[in-house]
Amino acid sequence: MEAPSEPESSGPGGTGPAVVSFQPSEHQHVRYNPLRDDWVLVSAHRMRRPWQGQVEKPPQEDVPRCDLSNPLCPGAARANGEVNPQYTSTFVFDNDFPALQPDAPEPDACSHPLFRAASARGVCKVMCFHPRSDLTLPLMSLAEIRAVIDKWAELAVELGASYPWVQIFENKGAMMGCSNPHPHCQVWASNFLPNEARLEDRTQQQHLQERGVPMLLEYARLEAQRKERLVVENADWLVVVPYWAVWPFQTLLLPRRHVCRLQELSDGERDSLASIMKRLLTKYDNLFEISFPYSMGWHGAPTGPHLGADCGHWQLHAHYYPPLLRSATVRKFMVGYEMLAQAQRDLTPEQAAERLRTLPEEHYRARPRQAA
């Protein structure tokens, strides 16, 4: 296949190839993700294409404050027949349909390397953030968000005493597979390091060996200086759309000091974390004036048998992966090229950060309603 011919110059003399300066918002390029050791294709010019694909149903806005048919509400009966207490803050219980159980038997041994299996044991918990179903984190008070953070840290200590990995994650919205509108997250602890944890452990360790500083600590300092991908910041934390972001409005929440695990945060850092979470999630909701869907989760140094090891290459961080692209009803799909080749995004991280950064920090639902 022949390479495309160079356009003729429109400059002085009118001869020779045109000199075209690279513009990230106009010209496709690939960016390296050092945390995952892979690349993402950035094709910002594709945002100009008309959309004729699937249109999603907007998230439900009229969620009742309490509905006893909702199994996460105080006083409601769950699938196993247990009745929830009349809780007034956070509430944690064992998942009624866990993906991991503590007493699973060992799989049979196989002599062929193409058919390997290993044990998978653990526990799965559900954590309700608040007794009210009509609230989400950005609509909760700072004290209520702080209670969520404290419970996260408590679970990380409790489960991390014996399990190597404790994954705290929230799927918000039906678009992200959440089957219940009540504000909640899940906590899975496993006797193995999952793929993402093993990958981040390797890349952060390699970076520390090569550069003498934890990867995400160095990255946070650089982003704080450059500011072009910065969304919100305070004295202890910053949120950026990472240089290597895959999802349209993906963000990375980073502490400014070196801290390996959630439970190591000071009281002041927990307060400022509550504040920056509320600011970020309010901006998310304000982007399309909906309850913004996302999947998020915390990553920190492994626990269990790793508690006594040197995990200084790790830096605590949280990933936010929202699917929406153009509007409240048009999402990004990870199909085709993304599944078979590599990740691709349709607007630059800098463009996404600017849109989020300039949004107000007062929630759209708190504004006075205009008369019809």
Listing from the earlier edge strand, what are the strands of the sheet with 91-94? Answer: 91-94, 122-128, 184-190, 165-172, 294-299, 317-321, 251-255, 237-240, 230-233
E-strand ranges in 59-181 read 91-94, 122-128, 165-172
Please tell me whether 47 is known to bind a ligand. yes
Please tell me whether 337 is known to bind a ligand. yes
Please tell me whether 361 is known to bind a ligand. no
Please tell me whether 151 is known to bind a ligand. no
The identity of residue 133, as a single letter, is: S
What separation in angstroms does the CA of 76 have from each of 87, 255, 282, 367?
11, 38, 29, 33
Catalytic residue selected from 182, 184, 207, 313:
184
Q: CA-CA-CA-CA torsion for 45, 46, 50, 53, nearest 10 degrees?
A: -170
Known catalytic residue: 27? no
Please tell me whether 95 is known to bind a ligand. yes
Please tell me whether 84 is known to bind a ligand. no
Please tell me whether 177 is known to bind a ligand. yes
Please tell me whether 79 is known to bind a ligand. yes
Please tell me whether 101 is known to bind a ligand. no
Please tell me whether 297 is known to bind a ligand. no
Whole-number Å distance between alpha carbons of 25 and 27: 6
Neighbours of 18 (CB within 10 A): 10
Q: Considering only CA atoms, which of 227, 224, 312, 237 is closest in space to residue 276?
A: 237
Please tell me whether 363 is known to bind a ligand. no
Whole-number Å distance between alpha carbons of 138 and 108: 47
Range 105-131 burial, b when 16+ CB lie within 10 A, else e: eeeeeeeeeeeeeeeebbbbbbbbbbb
Please tell me whether 178 is known to bind a ligand. yes
Please tell me whether 49 is known to bind a ligand. yes
Please tell me whether 319 is known to bind a ligand. yes
- Strand duo 122-128 + 184-190: pairing: antiparallel
Please work out, in degrees rounded to the nearest 5, the angle formed at the alpha carbon of residue 349 by the alpha carbons of 347 and 352: 70
Please tell me whether 96 is known to bind a ligand. yes
In terms of residues, how long is the chain?
372
Q: Which residues make up each annotated binding site for Fe cation?
A: 200, 299, 317, 319
User: What residues form the annotated binding site?
Assistant: 46-49, 79, 95-96, 171, 177-179, 186, 200, 299, 317, 319, 332-333, 337-338, 344
Q: Which residues are catalytic?
A: 184
Task: State the binding site for UDP-alpha-D-glucose.
Answer: 46-49, 79, 95-96, 171, 177-179, 186, 332-333, 337-338, 344
